Amino acid sequence: MKLKGFKSHPYIPNSVTDVQNEMLKEIGLADLEELHSEIPEEIKLKKNMDLPKSIVSEYELERHIKEIIKKNKTCEDNINFLGGGCWQHHVPAICDEINSRGEFLTAYGGEPYNDLGRFQALFEYQSLVAELVDMDVVNVPTMDGAQAAATALRMAGRITGRTEVLIPALMDRDKFKIVNNYCKSALKLIEVDYDKKTGQLDLEDLKRKANENTAAVFFENPSFMGFIEEGGQEISDIAHEAGALSVVCVDPSSLGIIKPPSHYGADIVAGELQPLGMHMNYGGGQAGFTATRDEEKFVMEFPSRLFGITSTIENGEYGFGDVAYDRTSFGHHRHEGKEYVGTQTALWGITAGVYLALMGPVGMFELGQTIMQNVQYAIAKIDEIDDVKASAFDSTSFKEFVVDFNKTGRTVEEINGKLMEKGIFGGKDLSKDFPQMGQAALYCVTEIHTKSDIDKLADALKACL
Amino acid sequence: MGKLERINRDFKVNRNFHQAKWDEPIIFELHKNGERGIVAPKADEEIERTVGDGISKIPQGMLRDEAPNLPEITQARVVRHYTRLSQMTLGADVNMEIGQGTCTVKYSPKVNEKLARLPEMTEIHPLQDESTVQGILEIMHKTDLFLREISGMDRFSFQPSGGSQAIMAMAAIARAYHESRGEGDIRDEIITTIYSHPSDAAAPAVMGYKIIYINPDENGYPDLEAFKAAASERTAAFFIANPEDTGVYNTRVQEFTETMKEVGALSCYDQANANGLLGITRAKEAGFDMSFFNLHKTFSTPHGCGGPATGALGVLDHLVKFLPGPLIDFDGEKYFQNHDIVGKTDSIGKVRMFNGVAPVVLKAYSWIMSMGAEGLYEVAKVAVLNNNYMFNKLMKLDVVDAPYIRGKQRVEQVRYTIEKLFNDTGITTEDVQRRMMDFGMHYWASHHPYYVAEPMTLEPTESPSKEDIDEYVETLKHIFNEAYENPDLIKSAPHQSTCHQLKEESLDNPAEWAITWRSYLKKTIV
């Protein structure tokens, strides 16, 4: 039986029968069926695939998709307090404007000549993030913050020639899984305990575990639980005394007000770019960066592309290109290059650059300040509720904090169910990933929350407890 | 009648092209003290009265004492800057995409982008209760069902966010699979071919595997005898693209996958070049255990300068429990994230935060719906028609050749050689590449190292028209003629692109490379 095609499809110019016949004639074939002659008959499909009938008109297609996605309830129509690796921030209109530009949206692997704009925009993104973290080298972004952390640790493993890394026990379990899967063949992950009262990394435990096998001491600032890790310098010192690197994962939205890790001894800094101009996109806005000092031993260990600035043969003209391209798996050494490189999240990198160019130092300061004020207000309001403790850790929070519901006799699941009825998305339930904390939830408050949003949350919590 | 002359546009080669060139400064050079691009929201006055300035609570020594050295730029200038940079980027919307061979750069329908940017997609948090994200879960589940039909695989994960990450995930699954059978330590080798993507070797190496390369035989097929000799009880898996980057379809692919079964290893299919095979043949019938599709390539979602993307990873039933979790399921009433199918101890865990790049999955869903089975079949037929039409035209040129399977068809792309041009004129494939930019066209040589001399890899996909292909070929011919008549013009190209030839030496010199603006300021002399 003859398989059916789709003639004169709007996306396929040469689906017009006359044109096809003309082209077929030119290559000496009579029929489209005669194409694919190299595919063995026994593995060729004998009938059309079983897929839903196509929706030909654009209008009907839009209707169809909208019918489905309107079942999603948004954080615009509800008040959202979920964070945990993806955070609701304001996305400046210009970020969307630039990353919707067809030229950027549909570009890919062009050369530094015809894609100069792409190279420059990514070089500028690297340069802007470099200012934020106060380091000299930043990569073209990778998949997400977790992948950036995993690569930072593999880099540390290669630089030190060692096989263990120390990580905080209070790390996001999903992030742990990603890092573990990626590092398994080269590095063993060893957890470092935390102070039960403050959540801060247990420095005594860290000292016990840091030794001649330690490639890196890894910690997050703010921590996964949202508080500021105060002993940054001490942690880095312990790492360095053991001959290990200090690797820090940072939230870039905090860096207008909080010290960057390079100021407390970090050798490699990684982080998640999503707060810098990406919508949450159900987790599709993630992108990761890695930063180091400009030393050959660091630069040559990056698996990512690094776009550098240079001159051209024309006086006064900037040009851009790949720095030390041959260290990547795209270079001559293939699998002997550093890890692997491929399609990652370039468009989000460009967008993060746009965001930082708009915000400037003052915007980043304002952002950090508003977040901290809102968070402190939210903690105070929630802590007023009987039997509820906010925050569970006696430390300073940046934009997330843990609410302890253990004394209420209710589960987080029950509470979140009640909140949802009132149009509120309560914090991430920690009870499964961190059973030692019992019924606790990770709440996120940012610059987008108003006093009224936070008051509504407090009132709703009171009402449902 | 006046004297206005009608312009003659009866020429194929666009000699008057000049790409946008704005001579735009680096963003830091636009800085002016005190300018603002945007104002961040302030905390409510009552909040400020209650908690104070917020930052006094920052622990001792953790307050940033010096503001980051970001530029201060007014909003309109930021827009102008980035709009100009976009104009200096040769996306698929502004050129006929034929030259980025192996990248499957096709038309990305605007309606799909519009849909992906609705607040029902952008303003949803990945940890929301399942009852509030039924729409996206439905899209993900149905796209999984579509891809099962298109590939014959039994289950898909959208977590891998690019082809290379999908390759990494397949290698991790191979590792978990063999560990579950107590053979994790013995099976430490992965076999791939030199014409598969470099990531087919590099990503498994990250997972700890030794890599064995199979060379092509005289027909360009991976050497079956060498492959059989390499396969052993130490083989964990085999990673291959088919067609490979040469456009040659490995007609004996089943013997390869059979060989893997015989030695207890897995066959993993890199379907980066799947476009010309949609509705024609599938991974399952060829004997593969795992495969992945690049949704940003084959399914048009688009490439975004290099992501965000998705390497949709499909496996047969016996490997489902090793997939990164959770998987999206439907219980007859509601869609949900299934944490149970991916065995808690067997799963490789996760490869990406949350559940993949949702907008990309939505755009792929929409594209498949706009095609249906008949449209996908048409895509494959036209992509292969376009490729062979161009192949036929180019092979008539004296300076173009393509090694292997003479007189037979190629699938999605062709790796040509212009070695004769080089031998006659000294013009290299890189020279031609730069000159093609003077006509607003991409041109790609090959991954490294070059196994074909002076390679040229072209992939028209289904998107260009016959006239586009004719224009591309005419432009190449024009340049090949220039090579004989005026080689200096090519050697010194580009002339009409965004910038002139780079001084590249500094990019490989640690004393001079500058990966950021601050580094450039430190390392350059005034």
Residues 6+ away with beta carbon under 8 Å from A242? A210, A211, A212, A214, A217
A151-175: per-residue pLDDT in tens? Answer: 999 999 999 999 999 999 999 999 9
Q: DSSP states of A193-251 as a string? A: -B-TTT--B-HHHHHHH--TTEEEEEEEES-TTSB--TTHHHHHHHHHHTTPEEEEEE-
- For residues A191-201, average pLDDT: 98
Looking at residue A1, its pLDDT comes to 60
Contact B121, A58 (CB under 8 A): no
How large is the average pLDDT for residues A316-325? 96
Domain ranges of chain B: 116-368
Residue A173, min C-alpha distance to chain B (Å): 10
Residue A24, pLDDT score: 98
State which CATH number among 3.40.50.360, 3.90.870.10, 1.10.10.10, 3.90.1150.10 fits the domain covering A79-89+363-464. Answer: 3.90.1150.10
Q: What is the pLDDT, as a whole number, of residue A336?
A: 87
The Cα A55–Cα B370 span in angstroms is: 5
**Averaged confidence pLDDT in chain A:** 97
pLDDT tens digits for range A71-83: 999 999 999 999 9
Residue A433 is classified by DSSP as T
Q: Is the peptide bond before B68 cis (omega within 30 degrees of 0)?
A: no
- Asked if B54's CB is within 8 angstroms of A369's CB, the reply is yes
The answer to whether the beta carbons of residues A306 and A137 sit under 8 Å apart is yes
The region, left, alpha or beta by phi > 0 then psi within -120 to 50, assigned to residue B454 is: left
Q: What average pLDDT does the structure give for chain B?
A: 96
pLDDT-derived band at B342, boundaries 50, 70, 90: confident
Tell me how far apart the alpha carbons of residues A247 and A217 are, in angstroms, rounded to a whole number.
Answer: 6
Per cent of chain B over pLDDT 90 is 96
| Rounded Cα–Cα distance for residues B32 and B35 (Å) | 6
**Residue A455 neighbours by CB distance under 10 Å:** 15
Across the A/B interface, how many CB contacts are shorter than 8 Å?
733
pLDDT value, residue B9: 83
Average pLDDT over residues B233-260: 97
Question: What fold, for A93-356?
Answer: Aspartate Aminotransferase; domain 2 (3.40.640)
Interface test with B, best of A19, A113, A444 (most B CBs within 10 A): A113
Share of chain B above pLDDT 70, in %: 100
Mean pLDDT score, B439-468: 96
Q: Are strands A164-168 and A188-192 parallel, antiparallel or unpaired?
A: parallel
Q: What is the pLDDT of residue B346?
A: 86
B116-368 CATH, one of 3.40.640.10, 1.50.10.20, 3.30.70.100, 3.90.226.10:
3.40.640.10
Q: What is the pLDDT of residues B67-124, one digit of tens each?
A: 999 999 999 999 999 999 999 999 999 999 999 999 999 999 999 999 999 999 999 9
- The pLDDT value given to residue A165: 98
C-beta of residue A304 within 8 angstroms of C-beta of residue A140: yes
The answer on pLDDT for A31 being more than 80 is yes
Of A35, A118, A128, the CB nearest to B305: A118
A246-294 per-position pLDDT tens digit: 999 999 999 999 999 999 999 999 999 999 999 999 999 999 999 999 9
Q: H/E element holding B202?
A: helix B199-206
Cα(B144)–Cα(B148) distance, integer angstroms: 6
Where does the pLDDT of residue B343 fall: very low under 50, low under 70, confident under 90, or very high at 90 and above? low
- For residue B81, list chain A residues with Cβ-Cβ distance below 8 A: 357
> Which chain B residues touch A360 with a CB distance below 8 Å?
35-37, 70-73
Can you read off the two tokens belonging to residue A354?
């746009």
User: Is A177 in contact with B350 (Cβ distance < 8 A)?
Assistant: yes
Q: What's the confidence (pLDDT) of residue B368? A: 98
What six digits make up the tokens of B47?
């909040």
Classify A99 as helix, strand or coil. Answer: helix
DSSP B145-197: HHHHHHH--SEEE----SHHHHHHHHHHHHHHHHHHTT-TTT--EEEEETTS-
**pLDDT tens digits for range A84-94:** 999 999 999 99
**Extents of the domains making up chain A:** 13-69, 79-89+363-464, 93-356
The residue in chain A having the minimum alpha-carbon distance to the alpha carbon of residue B42 is A370
What is the predicted ipTM? 0.98
Q: Which residue is closest to B354 within chain A, CA to CA?
A: A283
Task: Round to whole Å and give the CA distance between A80 and A427.
Answer: 8
Please tell me the predicted confidence (pLDDT) of residue B345. 77
Q: What is the pLDDT of residues A439-450, one digit of tens each?
A: 999 999 999 999
A271 in Cβ contact with A288 (< 8 Å): yes
Tell me the C-alpha to C-alpha distance, in Å, between residue B38 and each of A261, A452, B28, B74, B245: 26, 24, 17, 8, 47
- For the packed helices B429-436 and B466-485, what is the interaxial angle rounded to 10 degrees? 120
Tell me the shortest Cα–Cα distance from B482 to chain A, in angstroms: 20
Global confidence as pTM:
0.98
Instruction: Find residues 57-96 of chain A whose CB sits inside 8 Å of chain B.
Output: 58, 61-62, 64-66, 68-76, 78, 80, 82, 84-86, 88, 90, 92, 94, 96
Task: Report CB contact under 8 Å: B437, A307.
Answer: no
What are φ and ψ of residue A284, in 5° steps?
-90, 0
Using the predicted structure, report yes or no on whether residue B1 has a pLDDT greater than 90: no
Residue pair B195/B245 in contact (Cβ under 8 Å)? The answer is yes
CA–CA dist A113, A319 (Å, integer): 8
Q: Region B190-213: what's the mean pLDDT?
A: 95
Quick check: A3 pLDDT over 80? yes
- What is the per-residue pLDDT for B285? 97
SS3 A289: strand
Helix pair B358-395, A58-69: axis angle to 10 deg: 150
In whole angstroms, what separates CA A190 from the centre of its chain?
23
Mean pLDDT for B247-276 is 97
Among A127, A187, A379, pick the best mutation site for testing chain B contact (most B Cβ within 10 A).
A127
Alpha helices in A37-163 (DSSP H): 58-69, 93-99, 102-105, 116-133, 145-160
Q: Cα(B400)–Cα(B391) distance, rounded to whole angstroms?
A: 10
Mean pLDDT of B332-360: 91
Mean pLDDT of A195-206: 98
